[in-house]
């Protein structure tokens, strides 16, 4: 699969008080009224909020309409998400909106802790936390961190692919996280059963992190896009017949770094969706979203 790049569609430029730097982790929400893209941005204090913008893939150069207020802001002092919230995905189910996200809190021995969270809305604009506690707390299956849940609903089964920490290591005297992609299931989207199922693991000693996975079902085939890194994030791709056992095919990802410009150093946080029978990809370039969100179309 090859992708044709259309360039940046949203550049963070102070469109609202919650948008000072970065436009990260895009996730398309397709409804009867059109397409919205949820994303994360940082305020003047560097704390991430989640909001959305409206967007027409048929007119990628048209200015997007950005929400004046965030849909979700950092949590209460001392909560698992009091240092920031970053977007992961939005699921529509029986008229409700389920916003899966990552909550950030600051650490001492390590710079931060991450925990997957859930907020729910009846209108897709105003979200309320399902709980003041994490959706996926640290436990024996995930002792270090959980983050970046991607969820599909198949009949009565909710399926999740998420990031799980396997430890921290000192690199040049500073702690560096290690995390991979695991799998969980639920009957209602709120209570999840986790185990030791690793979907995407480290391929060599240089790899140490995977960004938010994006999974779609294409007939009998599951496709996953993600970003992985040693020295920098690049686009990865994998396929599966059951959504559990995956074969990495990173060489087929089809979206390389540009020779110069906004995505010349990094490709991160892909979100793939279907529009007018063609696959579209939203993604971040340099600086984990500092240069904005771009669009590419499958050819």
Phi, psi of 94 (to 5 degrees): 50, 45
d(CA 70, CA 13): 15
Look at the chain and count its residues. Answer: 299
pLDDT more than 70, % of the chain: 100
Residues paired with residue 150 on neighbouring β-strands, in sequence order? 161
Residue 30 vs residue 74, higher pLDDT: 74
Query: How deeply is 209 buried, as exposed, middle or buried, from its count of CB atoms within 10 A (0-12, 13-18, 19+)?
Result: middle
* CATH no., domain 3-298: 2.115.10.20
Alpha-carbon distance 62 to 225, whole Å? 26
Residue 33 pLDDT > 90: no
The pLDDT of residue 63? 86
Give residue-wise pLDDT tens across range 227-264.
999 989 999 999 999 999 999 999 999 999 999 999 99
What pLDDT does residue 246 have?
Answer: 98
Q: What is the pLDDT of residues 176-214, one digit of tens each?
A: 999 999 999 999 999 999 989 999 999 999 999 999 999
pLDDT band at 293 (very low <50, low <70, confident <90, very high): very high
72-107 residue pLDDT tens: 999 999 999 999 999 999 999 999 999 999 999 999
By the 10 Å C-beta count (0-12 exposed, 13-18 middle, 19+ buried), 73 is classed as middle
Question: What local confidence, expressed as pLDDT, does residue 128 receive?
Answer: 98
Counting residues of the chain whose pLDDT is more than 90, the rounded percentage is 93
Distance CA(247)–CA(238), nearest Å, equals 5
pLDDT average, residue stretch 148-152: 98
* pLDDT tens digits, 36-73: 999 999 999 999 999 999 988 888 888 889 999 999 99
Lowest mean pLDDT among 3-17, 56-70, 123-137, 177-191: 56-70
Maximum distance among all alpha carbons in the chain? 52
- Tell me what pLDDT residue 59 has: 87
The per-residue pLDDT of the chain, averaged, comes to: 96
Global pTM?
Answer: 0.97
Domain boundaries, the chain: 3-298
């Amino acid at each position: 699969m090859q992708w044709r790049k259309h360039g940046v569609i949203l550049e963070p430029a102070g469109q609202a008080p919650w948008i000072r730097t970065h436009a990260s982790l895009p996730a398309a929400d397709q409804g009867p009224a059109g397409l919205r893209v949820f994303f994360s941005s940082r305020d003047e204090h560097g704390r991430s909020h989640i909001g959305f913008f409206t967007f027409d893939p048929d007119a990628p150069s048209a200015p997007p309409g950005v929400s004046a207020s965030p849909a979700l802001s950092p949590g209460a002092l001392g909560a698992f998400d009091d240092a920031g919230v970053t977007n992961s995905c939005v699921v529509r189910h029986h008229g409700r909106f389920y916003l899966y996200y990552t909550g950030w809190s600051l650490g001492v021995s390590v710079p931060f802790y991450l925990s997957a969270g859930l907020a729910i809305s009846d209108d897709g604009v105003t979200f309320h936390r399902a709980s003041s506690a994490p959706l996926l707390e640290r436990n024996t299956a995930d002792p270090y961190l959980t983050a970046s849940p991607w969820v599909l609903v198949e009949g009565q089964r909710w399926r999740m692919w998420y990031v799980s920490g396997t430890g921290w290591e000192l690199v040049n005297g500073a702690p560096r996280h290690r995390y991979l992609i695991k799998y969980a299931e639920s009957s209602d989207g709120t209570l999840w059963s986790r185990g030791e199922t690793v979907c995407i693991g480290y391929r060599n000693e240089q790899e140490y992190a995977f960004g938010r996975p994006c999974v779609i079902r294409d007939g009998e085939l599951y496709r996953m896009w993600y970003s992985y890194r040693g020295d920098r994030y690049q686009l990865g791709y994998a396929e599966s017949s059951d959504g559990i056992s995956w074969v990495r095919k990173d060489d087929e990802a089809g979206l390389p770094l540009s020779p110069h410009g906004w995505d010349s150093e990094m490709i991160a946080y892909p979100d793939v969706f279907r529009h007018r029978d063609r696959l579209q990809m939203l993604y971040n370039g340099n600086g984990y979203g500092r240069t904005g969100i771009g669009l590419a179309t499958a050819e």
